[in-house]
A and B are shown apart, each in its own frame.
Chain A
Amino acid sequence: MALSEQAGAAASFERRVLRSAGEHHYLRVRLELPDGGARPNVAQFKQLVVSALKELHGEVGAALPVDVLTYEEKTLSAILRVVSSGLVKLWSALTLLGFYQNRRCAFRVLQTSPFLLALAGNSRELVLD
């Protein structure tokens, strides 16, 4: 931080408007599995996402770069990052995935946003009372 000390004089006013400039989209998802079975760890979870893409969109779809930013094994919820042009591919692949290790499963997309910061405060999930 010390590097930036030299910002001397007070900044003059400047405004930038970035219109649809976000390179990525973020999804908060939850995997639903029947009770009692083995829960995937983070690597298996990522593999499941990639296999979902492959199933629906083939090898080219499976090459879509998807990042698992966070994963909570207890709740099976994760935050995924995908390039904006691949949002529909990823979303559709997750929606149509029906099985994990021959057990029925479903992905729920809880929230999606072009801003990762927006996922930190979802008013629809807040319990204020």
Chain B
Amino acid sequence: MRVSLPDRCRRCWENARAKGTERANARQQAAGEARNGRRHRHINAAQSRHCTGSGCATEQQAEVTSGHSSFPASLRLAGRCVSVAVPCLAAGSVTRARSPPRWRMAVPPLQRLGQAPRHLLVCEKGHARHARSRHAAHVRDHAYNCRVSFLIPECGLLPEVLKSTIEDVGEYYLIRNLPVHELVAHDFIDAFVKKGSCYALTYKTKIDQDNTAALLPNGNLILSVDKDTYEELGLQGRPSKYSGKKVMRYIITIDLTGCGFHPDSKKHNRVLWALKEKKPLEFDFLLAWYNTGAEGSTLMSYFSKNQIEALKPKITFSTLRDLQCPLLQSNELHGKPEESCSTEELFEWLGAVLNQVSLDNKSSSFLSTYCCPQPNTVVEKAFLCTITGFIIPEKIIQLLEQLCCYFGEPKLAYWLTLTVHGFADSPVSWRESEHGFHKGGENLYNFVIFRNLDYWLQMAVGTNDDCPP
């Protein structure tokens, strides 16, 4: 059954559905047998109290399709909202006013242009030393990070401990034209995937156009491929969630450490055949490996036959003078008027600081109306450090710990922030939840660490993303 109604009728429609359906059902049951086999329709104008006056449409088109009958019905009713419940063809069937699908109920096309694409900002607060605090788990679950920045107000010179932590962020590798089948080879799995956390992500591939691959530290290899490649590969996958009605993208997940993936197993041979002979896939890969102490061969020596280069993250320091900082209270996520700023205001302010937006709002300014949220205070200097590269979560956790320790000694700053940007083109955001690129592909998070080690965590994702954990 297809029914199209104007948006303003939505409430009435739903109410009518709830109440009208009951009445219709009762009426049907009473008169059901008498009308057996005859096509009939109900027009239930019960909910008119919502719509008296000019609120609702005066003309409504209802097209009804059920079973093998389809006919349009045009109903002209002045100042009324109607619930249209139509046909029952089968003997004794109960007529129901089914709610139209949500996308159809939604807004007319022109009005839809005014709607922003869906996006989510999840804010959490907790205490960093709480036994059940999940802050480190959130960092660990976000595997692919391209930029880490931290901002410390009232800090001119970085403590030595923090400096050494930054220098220890570790190198990563870029391998050109690496065939994907080399990542499913058992030598590689035994030497790296099983012996530590191995991260790999294709470089300079676009998730909305190209094929993309990523290796997660839990041993799952994720291939996000277009329809043609999927059909050529012949590996089992699932349609992408964000591909629309006509599926043009598929996600293949291969568990490299699973018990069914031992050498000579059918699955292993099939995957190897598919990636080696059926449809050889080659990408430039970013790779990083983190192992807890165990000695082993390095990625550099393992991939010595390929074009591999070791890269170091780029680190920049800057000191911001006379920075307007919002006032925050760790136990007030919503903020309090005249007392503290909310978490959303802080998030926007931090964006302005990292993008070097001018914060002073002159009344005569023709250019911009943005200003620092109120209440705020001017900080004489603030230290900003930015690390850019392929940064693994283990290093971010170390940095986060050191930033918590920063407040071990008395400091002027009341809080500091740590911002992490994810790759817009990675096939996952948090854990293994699928990630896509709608308009921006944003997946990022930000910690605000307070002096008493309370923290705020803000996780932001764009349209083609699940809700962060």
Identify the A interface with B (CB < 8 A).
Answer: 1-22, 24-26, 42-43, 46, 65, 67-71, 79, 81, 84-89, 111-124, 126, 128-129
Contact = CB atoms under 8 A, between A and B. Distances in A.
B116 A25 contact: yes
B425 interface: yes
A58 B325 CA distance: 39
Nearest to A109: B439
Nearest to B445: A117
Most B CB contacts (10 A, CB to CB) among A1, A19, A112 go to: A1
Contacts of B379: 1
Interface stretch (B217-225, B295-303, B368-376): B368-376
A128 B286 contact: yes
B370 A120 contact: no
What 8 A-B pairs are tightest by C-beta distance, nearest first? A116-B351, A121-B421, A84-B116, A117-B351, A120-B354, A118-B442, A121-B147, A67-B368
B235 to A, nearest CB: 27
Interface stretch (B16-24, B32-40, B341-349, B398-406): B341-349
Interface of B: 113-127, 129-130, 146-147, 149, 153-154, 174, 203, 206, 286, 309, 311, 325, 327-334, 339-340, 343-344, 347-348, 350-352, 354-358, 366-370, 375, 377, 379, 388-390, 412-415, 419, 421-425, 439-442, 444, 446, 450, 452-454, 460, 462, 467
Contact of A117 (B126, B460, B462): B460
A115 B452 contact: no
A122 B423 CA distance: 8
A69 B367 CA distance: 8
Contacts of A25: 116
Contacts of A21: 121, 344
B127 A10 contact: yes
Given A7-B452, A11-B454, A121 B126 contact: no
Most B C-beta atoms less than 10 A away, residue of A2, A22, A116: A116
Contacts of B331: 7, 9, 11-12
B124 A15 contact: yes
B410 to A, nearest CB: 12
Contacts of A42: 367
